[in-house]
Amino acid sequence: QKEVEQDPGPLSVPEGAIVSLNCTYSNSAFQYFMWYRQYSRKGPELLMYTYSSGNKEDGRFTAQVDKSSKYISLFIRDSQPSDSATYLCAMIKAGGTSYGKLTFGQGTILTVHP
């Protein structure tokens, strides 16, 4: 079983829809959580970063972390065609020998159609 599970989709939504992307994890040592967006033929770019339970908002994007349930989400409001990309969740453990190493989900392919 993978430490981080993410539904690969693909997910197709109409423009203006609210998108919900989710990851679950199995190891409570994960303490730092990120969402990356990756456009086709590009490297992943950091979208959201959080290390505490609760919500963090940045424009149309909201990252949510529930450590008790080992569950993280990314919400996109008023989705746009330019949001079409692969979204990767990633997390880092607080201890052990995993210094600075990210564990990624599989990535969810999102298409927002006009």
Partner 1 sequence: DVKVTQSSRYLVKRTGEKVFLECVQDMDHENMFWYRQDPGLGLRLIYFSYDVKMKEKGDIPEGYSVSREKKERFSLILESASTNQTSMYLCASSSPGRGSPLHFGNGTRLTVT
Residue 82's φ and ψ, nearest 5 degrees, are: -70, -10
User: Which residue among 51, 66, 71, 77 contacts partner 1 (CB under 8 A)?
Assistant: 51
Minimum Å gap between C-beta 16 and partner 1 is 29
Which among 14-22, 36-44, 59-67, 76-84 is the span making contact with partner 1, rule CB under 8 A?
Answer: 36-44
**Helix, strand, or coil here: 81?**
helix
Closest CA to 57 of 47, 67, 66, 44: 47
Mask 53-82, x = binds partner 1 (CB under 8 A)? ------------------------------
- 94 touching partner 1, by CB under 8 A: yes
Stretch that binds partner 1, among 15-23, 34-42, 60-68, 72-80 (CB under 8 A): 34-42
Q: Both tokens of residue 88?
A: 């990767």
Name which of 37 and 84 has its Cβ closer to partner 1: 37
The DSSP code for 77 is S
Q: What gap in Å lies between CA 114 and CA 102, rounded to an integer? A: 34
